[in-house]
A and B are shown apart, each in its own frame.
Chain A
Amino acid sequence: MGSQVILKRPTFWIILLATLAFALVPALTGNLELRENLLLGAVYIILASNLNLMIGYTAYVNFGNIAFFGLGGYIGLYVVNVLGWSLWPACLIAGVVVSLLAFILGTGILRLRGAYFALATIGVNEAVKAFVTNFEPFGGASGMYLSFSSFNALGGARHALWLAYFAIVVLMGLSLWLSLAIKNSRFGLGLFAIREDEDAAMVLGVRTPRYKSLVYAISAFIPAVAGTLFFFKNGVILPDQAFDLTLSIEAIVMLMLGGQGTVIGVALGAFAYEQLRGFLLVSSTFSQFQLVVAGVLLLLIVLFLPEGFMGWVYRHLPRLRRVIE
């Protein structure tokens, strides 16, 4: 549907307002702790909503979604650090390269269905990790450290970190807008048909192989760009941290929690999970205790609330289905 239709939808305005709030509140208060908190929230929302295109829209469970983020970070940092280019073209290159790789790879592994596809995606993440760990231009096992001069091009470290933060917030807004736009498009309808019954979709005329490869590539783009920004802001990238399978699984918990297939629900789920995680990291004597909670949470959702928080809301207030998507 055209953009004027999307403008009329309240969901669009919710996305816009949330994005502005993420950008402005830390900027106006100058609260750095809040900024770091929201930064992680924004990254989680980016990961979860792009993964939602695969899981919630198309019903292909991608455990390797974090590979897009990590590989994007590596490619971007390589372009900045070794080639000496500025951050913005580096972001674009990372996004395009990772998307193209995903498209080519998707053409192959998306022939698999269900659990077989999910297993293959774990393999993808591990294979990329193993490759990067042994790839000297990317620093191998010891990773890549950003030279401090890279920040100078963006007006010094302080300025550069704020810029990277704003860029990630913009990517968060774009991710949510993309989810909304796809949901209301012909493309999205084709994906939903695949989600419900791939064989039926094919017989109804949906060009399923192309649609699946396309959505796989699309779901890789923004996470790859976000990876560049995130690790640029970090100043360092290591294989274990860039291709952390637990974050992939946490992203699945986030979107299940909020309601797979919804736009706002997934964002809420990601944000809530990030807050919970932050709380557990600080307050608990266990390290990584959030993973225990995540596991229990996932179990509870699957058992009692498979449609997630938004699904629960829709069930009690069916009218909201058309208003908050």
Chain B
Amino acid sequence: MSALLEVEHLGKRFGGVRAVHDVSFAIEEGQIFGLIGPNGAGKTTLFNLINGVIKPDTGRVALQGEAITGMAPYSVVHRGLARTHQIVKPLNDMTVLDNVIVGACFGPQKLKLKEAATAARDSLKTVELIDRAHVLAGTLNLAGKKRLEIARALAGQPRLLLLDETLAGLNPTEAERMIAVVRRIREESGVAILMIEHLMQVIMSLSDRIMVLNFGEKLAEGTPEEIAHDERVIEAYLGDPDLASRLMEQK
């Protein structure tokens, strides 16, 4: 049986910059797959290549065995792959609920308006934003907007969710709530998650598998334990050899 998402030899150049080069990996159903790497390593570019915002120069992306390489973002969503943005993109002059209804209406399930409203409410409950359903999305704070991003992506019931730095810019309390939200999503819907995150203890404790990118290339892939003890990863990203053992103790 093929994996949920298969990425093979994906590559993209911007002028002379090799943003992503020869990256391959696979994600299984229901898996949480962490993506880490220094700033500028090409993590968000990789997301954009997978969901069709940018067309790759080389390589192939397949979702549930079907090639989605170079498809428009909406076609990729319709096949079951939803994403959030690192830099939030709320539909400002629409209510929080309407934002999520858009996700439910036009997402993988293509629900009718009425069903979409129900799905949107469920999704808002999951991310703990239901009490703000009728305010305009533009008035939410950053933590709220980040949760709105997740709710919108989740409302269409995707098979795979791409989360781009959902914790970035949140204070410790907000981040903790967000981690609980991600855990709940996995428990409630069983959706597979591909997440970019900088907070090491979070990615180590949430992920089933982790891939490290550096200068657009895959540096390592493995279980959190393997990654934490990988010498190349320690040198390129973690910096401190003792950090790994501390992280594993916390877990």
Q: Do A and B come from one complex?
A: yes
Of the candidate stretches A193-201, A280-288, A289-297, the one touching chain B is A193-201
Question: B91 and A192: CB pair below 8 A?
Answer: yes
Interchain CB contact (< 8 A) of B91 among A185, A200, A205? A200
Interface residue? A99 (CB, 8 A): no
Chain B residues lying within 8 Å of A199, measured Cβ to Cβ, are 53, 89
- How far apart are the CA atoms of A277 and B105 in the complex, in Å? 43
Question: A197 and B103: CB pair below 8 A?
Answer: no
Interface residue? B13 (CB, 8 A): no
- How far apart are the CA atoms of A207 and B107 in the complex, in Å? 11
Q: How far is the CB of A320 from chain B (nearest CB, A)?
A: 15
Question: Given A199-B89, A204-B102, A206-B106, are A186 and B112 also a contact pair (CB < 8 Å)?
Answer: yes
Interface residue? B26 (CB, 8 A): no
Question: Given A192-B94, A196-B93, A199-B89, are A206 and B102 also a contact pair (CB < 8 Å)?
Answer: yes
Smallest CB gap from A209: residue in B: B72
Question: B74 and A206: CB pair below 8 A?
Answer: yes
Question: B53 and A203: CB pair below 8 A?
Answer: yes
Interchain CB contact (< 8 A) of B51 among A201, A203, A207? A203
Interface residue? A208 (CB, 8 A): yes
Of the candidate stretches B56-64, B77-85, B186-194, B223-231, the one touching chain A is B77-85
Q: How far is the CB of B103 from chain A (nearest CB, A)?
A: 5
User: Contact string, B193-210, partner A, CB cutoff 8 A, digits 1/0?
Assistant: 000000000000000000
User: Contact string, A189-226, partner B, CB cutoff 8 A, digits 1/0?
Assistant: 11011011101111111111000000000000000000
Question: B83 and A203: CB pair below 8 A?
Answer: yes
Question: A197 and B78: CB pair below 8 A?
Answer: no
Interface residue? B73 (CB, 8 A): yes
- How far apart are the CA atoms of A200 and B92 in the complex, in Å? 11
Chain B residues lying within 8 Å of A28, measured Cβ to Cβ, are none
Chain A residues lying within 8 Å of B51, measured Cβ to Cβ, are 203
The tally of residues in B whose CB lies under 8 Å from a CB in A reads 30
Interface residue? B98 (CB, 8 A): yes
Q: How far is the CB of A103 from chain B (nearest CB, A)?
A: 19
Q: How far is the CB of A319 from chain B (nearest CB, A)?
A: 12
Chain A residues lying within 8 Å of B82, measured Cβ to Cβ, are 204-205
Interface residue? A1 (CB, 8 A): yes
Question: A205 and B78: CB pair below 8 A?
Answer: yes
Interchain CB contact (< 8 A) of B156 among A186, A197, A205? A205
- How far apart are the CA atoms of A201 and B85 in the complex, in Å? 12
Question: Given A186-B113, A205-B74, A206-B74, are A200 and B89 also a contact pair (CB < 8 Å)?
Answer: yes
Question: B73 and A203: CB pair below 8 A?
Answer: yes
- The listed residue with most B CB atoms (<10 A of its CB), out of A185, A189, A196, A203, is A203
- How far apart are the CA atoms of A204 and B92 in the complex, in Å? 15
Question: Given A1-B113, A202-B72, A203-B53, are A190 and B106 also a contact pair (CB < 8 Å)?
Answer: yes
Interchain CB contact (< 8 A) of B105 among A1, A186, A197? A186
Question: A197 and B91: CB pair below 8 A?
Answer: yes
Question: Given A186-B113, A189-B101, are A204 and B85 also a contact pair (CB < 8 Å)?
Answer: no
Interface residue? B152 (CB, 8 A): yes
- The listed residue with most A CB atoms (<10 A of its CB), out of B78, B82, B102, is B102
Given contacts A189-B101, A200-B85, 19 further A-B contacts (CB under 8 A): A193-B91, A193-B94, A197-B91, A197-B92, A199-B89, A200-B91, A201-B106, A203-B73, A203-B74, A203-B77, A204-B103, A204-B106, A204-B152, A204-B153, A205-B103, A205-B107, A205-B110, A206-B106, A207-B74
Query: Can you name 12 A-B residue pairings with CB atoms under 8 Å?
Result: A189-B105, A190-B106, A192-B91, A193-B91, A193-B94, A196-B92, A197-B89, A202-B73, A204-B74, A204-B153, A205-B77, A206-B106
